[in-house]
Homo-oligomer: A and B are copies of this chain.
């Protein structure tokens, strides 16, 4: 992102993190992948990003090892999909923190509703970003569902694949 300097070598971890995460698309793409929407079209249609930008971001994310590109067969054809690495799945607490902050501090739009973060292991809703506020366990992508009442869905996230 050359409109600003490179922060990947910065001593402060916040800045190093923002070097990758300080882009609004990155987090949205990772959210889709953690929701199991792993294919190019699925991601594009779901977040409303242009082909060119999505393509660039996916390459960046693979380079940075937040995603891995894998082949698989379906409909008797070879497809590609993107799966989260451990680094990618570990963005979960950041997404939770953003979500909790936004629910508290941005106005709820018409037709919106509270999105509950469910720790499926214990069944409780968590109000904390990285430790389940119900049972105290560390939250992992594979153990969490996001309950979106406005879509009537409760989707369990997909964790990292080795």
Which residues of A are interface residues toward B (Cβ below 8 A)? 1, 4-5, 7-25, 27-28, 31, 48, 86-87, 90-91, 93-106, 109-113, 115, 128-131, 133, 136, 148, 150-151
Query: Given A18-B27, A133-B131, does the pair A13, B106 have CB atoms closer than 8 Å?
Result: yes
CB of A28 within 8 A of CB of B18, answer yes
CB distance from A7 to the nearest CB of B (A): 8
Per assembly, the copies of the chain total 2
B11 pairs with A111, CB closer than 8 A: yes
Chain B residues contacting A91 (CB-CB under 8 Å) are 101
Partner pick for A109 among B11, B22, B28, B105, CB 8 A cutoff: B11
- Give bound CA distance, A151 to B10, whole Å: 13
B9, B93, B96, B112: which contacts A100 (Cβ < 8 A)?
B93
The smallest beta-carbon distance between A37 and chain B, in angstroms, is 13
Complex: A94 Cα to B95 Cα, angstroms: 8
Closest chain B residue, CB of each to CB of A110: B9
On chain B, the residues within 8 Å of A24 by CB distance are 1, 4, 7, 18-19, 22-23
Query: Which B residues lie within 8 Å of A136 (CB)?
Result: 136
Q: Contact check, B98 vs A14: say whether CB atoms are below 8 A apart.
A: yes
Tell me the bound Cα distance from A105 to B136 in angstroms.
Answer: 23
